[in-house]
Structure 1
Amino acid sequence: MGVFDIIGPVMIGPSSSHTAGAARIGLLARHILKSEPTAVKIIFYGSFAKTYRGHGTDRAIVAGLLGYGADNPAIRNAFSLATEKKLPVNIETSEKEMLHPNTVKLELTGIDGKKMEIVGVSLGGGKVSICEINGFAADVRGEEYTLLMVYNDQRGVVAVVSSLLSEKDINISRMRVFRKGKHQEAVMIIDTDSEVPDDVVQKINSLEIMSVVIAIDPL
């Protein structure tokens, strides 16, 4: 256990879970969208829904979506910054029970028109997990270099992607694969010890079965 597991991250307060964690969720969502957001709908659940105003969770999420980290004073002025950037923000709460009390869903539209639904949870101490992307189970924490792929489930896909990474001496630290069913849409999430070069990302993206390939840097 490190010192930040005890006292939490360097941040703009008041809460590591409800403020710092929220900012990281927003920032991770921005990285996954791979675009400047042009519209966002935020839906808070559980504890987030009850306390988001007092803890500044809404401001932190918006600041993260604008590209600001948990330690940036811009969090305090997130809504005015969003107005300046002409980013409309719609906030709702839901009484639906979720697996984690600190849960938020972000419905995002990017500058290129791409739409994404991202569900994130704040785990405490500033640590977070993006646990759902466009309806797929996921676990993206922003702590390592991460490659996220959505593709049509077929035999040999994992081997092909692993081989392309191995050719560049990129070590895989963790891999998770989720699928809706045999030969249906699937998600592969690979954490690596080093950055995946653009040419490798492009090679993977050029595979006919791939629909989405996103390289995410650690926050």
Structure 2
Amino acid sequence: MYTPQQPGQSPLPRTLEPEPMDDESEVQEYQQMDHDGVNGAFVDDLIAGGSVGPKVVDLGCGTAAIPVLLCQRLGEIEVLGVDCSVEMLEAARIEIELGSVTGRVFLEHADCKLLDGFQDAAADTVISNTMLHHVAEPERVMAQAIRILTPGGRLFLRDLARPASEADVEGLVDRHAAGESDYGRQLLRQSLHAALTVDEVVDILAALSVPPEAIRMTSDRHWTLDWIKPN
């Protein structure tokens, strides 16, 4: 369960960053960063928290690291990874082949705020990992995620939480990106500035009839939504 912001606290203003990472050199830099721990924790928590699939949609799949891990862990699922970056999807095709999950992980180039080609109730599970902070209007992504989720299906979203101060941002960068390149450290710094606060997430989801009890902080820098869509 989340803890509401205390009276008198004033978080940093949200500073947006460009939505698609569609430059080949940027994607290569991104791939050189160490995402194994975060991706592994996401998959572990998803599996531990309830049923998954069989039809899974990953919004903002990037290089498909999580769909690959998920299919390696669970034998009876298929994952459709959606991303608006062509370069990310090109890298994902290689990762799918290397991960020996060809024929179980599929890719779709689409804007997660629209998903025009997706029918209502198309997925049993909808997931997304640290994508929402890239989006200027994350409420549109959340609304689409709920729309394509079947009644009784599971929505599992995780993203960064915007800290209250510059000092908190730098503390998290030092703690979690100490071994990264200058690019990697700056990427985390920008992402923390672009992230939502938990209170902002709660307000967005309240308008979509998702209760605040479904949202909680799950690390020193991540919030997680784990929710079953009512039948």
**Shared fold, TM over 0.5:** no
Higher relative contact order (CA 8 A, sep 6+): 2
> TM-score, structure 2 length as denominator?
0.30
Q: Which has the higher strand share?
A: 1
Q: Which has the higher helix share?
A: 2
